[in-house]
Amino acid sequence: MIEGYSEEEFGAEIHKHVRPSKPIDTIELLKGRQSELDEIRRALFADGRHIFIYGDRGIGKSSLAQTAAFQYQTSDASIIQIGCTKTSTFLDTMESIARRLIDSLDATEIQAKGGINLKIINLELTYKTTNKPETPKITTMDQALDVISDIREIHSDKPIIVIDEFDAIINQEERFKFAEFLKKMGDSGIYVPMIFSGIATSLDDLLGGHLSSIRQLKPIALSPISWDSRWDILVEALEAFNINFDEEIKYRVAGISDGFPYYVHLITEHLLWAVFDDQDTNHTANSKHYIRALENAVKSVQEQIRKPYDKATIRHSQDFHHIIWAAADSANLHRNIDSMYASYERILRDLSRAEHSEKIPPIDRKKFSQRLSTLTKESHGSVLRKMSESRNGWYQFSENMLRGFVRLLAETHGVQLWLEEAKVPKQLIHPRPQTLGGSARHQSSVPYGIGLKDDE
């Protein structure tokens, strides 16, 4: 129970602190990205410089891009933000930017600025007809440059453009045009900074070797957030409601999240509701609430994240659950068969102890290896991929963000996949494999022995 809030007030207040499904746009909520923010701020002191933030899906690219842009943009206007899609082209995107510029002006501004001679947007016409100007057609690079010039002229003191999800653009030629444009902007002396973000392991993936290294572009690679930052999200949210909590909870949530802030937000959100719902306790988060939070978090993980996992496990042999868990059992993103097999055997031991069941017989190493290979197939969600063709027996997750879901799910079965990682004071964590609070409520939902077509 949490006194003093109606359900509605509580729900509204929660979302001031945790937002699993929306990028962060304020510095107070952006955890563990101070050095990146400093780097971006400093890079943008130089006219002609642009930023490219890249990393895994869900690592926090849009959040950093938005927060950095809000810091740069003067308060006389809001940032210009564009999301890319599969079919976006360079020229369309510039047209959308022109549209955003027009939309950012209200009637009085249009009147006041009506006399300014702009390059591509015709405000004067509008001023006379009181209609909003049409979006100009942009058909050349020079016209795209005119859009930038008009932004400089009428948008605000320090405008900035955010181009999000750049990786979505399928056509490589179109992506290259953006980099060419940045060079052109540099030569022209007209400048509005752009912050790009996109999923990639290196900028080469998106822009090609030649264009990814142009001097106008500062790359910022994002890694998982630190242990302290993971705690900050949870601790600040609990403290905002004066909730006392078991220290162990914060280590567990941080470990499960694997440095993806989404999971910390998601579990914290459900933890807060679990405390709110419990009439028997007051302003306290204990192991019971934590377990409830995990169960509800598993259920509400975004469909799109868990889809490959479901594809690999539903209607397939139950081994696949445990093999995927084994692959997520380490801070290392790249794993070889031997270390994953060792994880697998440990996981089965822990599982039978946690669920007070018979020991599940492990599959042998040969079959394990075959199953790993199967997990790279489309039929099994392409959960894993081979690290490279030349390094036999090494695997990684196709989407690192899935590792957090796997850890979350394993934890609801009393199996921890993060215990070996740094920063966790061992004395704080119950010896594995006991579920926090010793609960035996967690019956395995992992089905036994169905869909054995994998063994054919």
Ligand X SMILES: Nc1ncnc2c1ncn2[C@@H]1O[C@H](COP(=O)(O)OP(=O)(O)O)[C@@H](O)[C@H]1O
Q: How far apart are the first and last CA of the chain?
A: 53
Residue 247, φ and ψ in degrees, nearest 5:
-50, -35
How far is 20 from 15, CA to CA, in rounded Å?
A: 9
Residue 52 φ/ψ, nearest 5 degrees:
-125, 115
- Token duo for residue 241: 């409601």
DSSP 68: H
CA distance 107 to 93: 25
Residue 24 interacts, among ligand X, Mg ion, none and using kind-specific CB cut-offs from 5 to 8 Å, with ligand X
Q: Which is nearer to ligand X, 29 or 238 (CB)?
A: 29
Give the burial class of 430: count Cβ atoms within 10 A of its Cβ; 0-12 exposed, 13-18 middle, 19 or more buried: middle
When CB distances are held under 5 to 8 angstroms depending on the partner's kind, the choice from Mg ion, ligand X, none that residue 265 binds is ligand X
Closer CB to ligand X, residue 263 or residue 325? Answer: 263
Residue 159's binding partner among Mg ion, ligand X, none (Cβ under 5 to 8 angstroms by kind) is none
Based on CB atoms, which residue is closest to Mg ion, 52 or 276? Answer: 52
Task: Tokens for 294, please give them.
Answer: 């995990």
Q: Taking CB under 5 A as the rule, does residue 229 contact Mg ion?
A: no
User: Interaction with Mg ion in 164-223: which residues (CB under 5 A)?
Assistant: none
| 93 is an interface residue for Mg ion by CB under 5 A | no
Using the minimum distance from each CB to ligand X, give the nearer residue, 98 or 305: 305
297 neighbors 267 (Cβ within 8 angstroms):
yes
Is residue 62 close enough to count as binding Mg ion by CB under 5 A? yes
Q: Which residue, 20 or 433, has its beta carbon nearer to ligand X? A: 20
**Whole-number minimum distance, CB 19 to ligand X, in Å?**
5
Distances (CA, A) of 407 to 14, 106, 133, 389, 417: 24, 49, 52, 27, 6
Q: Which is nearer to ligand X, 83 or 451 (CB)?
A: 83
Q: Which does 105 bind (CB under 5 to 8 A by kind): ligand X, Mg ion, none?
A: none
- Shortest distance, CB of residue 53 to ligand X, whole angstroms? 8
- Residue 214 Cβ vs Mg ion, minimum distance, rounded to whole Å: 23
CB nearer to ligand X: pick between 24 and 360: 24
CB of 226 to Mg ion, least distance (A): 20
* 81 vs 257, beta carbon nearer Mg ion: 81
Nearest approach, Cβ of 280 to ligand X (angstroms)?
Answer: 31
Helix, strand, coil percentages in the chain from 3-state DSSP, rounded to 5: 50, 10, 40
For residues 219 and 241, what is the distance between their CA atoms, to the nearest angstrom? 39
**If you write DSSP's letter for every residue of 228-294 in order, what string do you get?**
HHHHHHHHHHHHHTT-EE-HHHHHHHHHHHTT-HHHHHHHHHHHHHHHHH-TT-SSEE-HHHHHHHH
Q: Least distance in Å: CB of 248 to ligand X? A: 22
How far is residue 297 from each of residues 177, 262, 409, measured CA to CA in Å? Answer: 42, 11, 9
31 binds, among Mg ion, ligand X, none (CB under 5 to 8 A by kind): ligand X
Minimum Å gap between C-beta 164 and ligand X is 7
Min separation Cβ 352 and Mg ion, Å:
40
Q: Cα–Cα distance between 408 and 362 in angstroms, integer?
A: 22
Residue nearest to Mg ion (CB): 62
- Options 55-63, 255-263, 264-272, 324-332: segment touching Mg ion (CB under 5 A): 55-63
Q: Footprint of ligand X on this chain (CB under 6 A)? A: 19-24, 29-33, 57-63, 225, 233, 261-262, 265
Q: Which residues bind Mg ion (CB under 5 A)?
A: 62
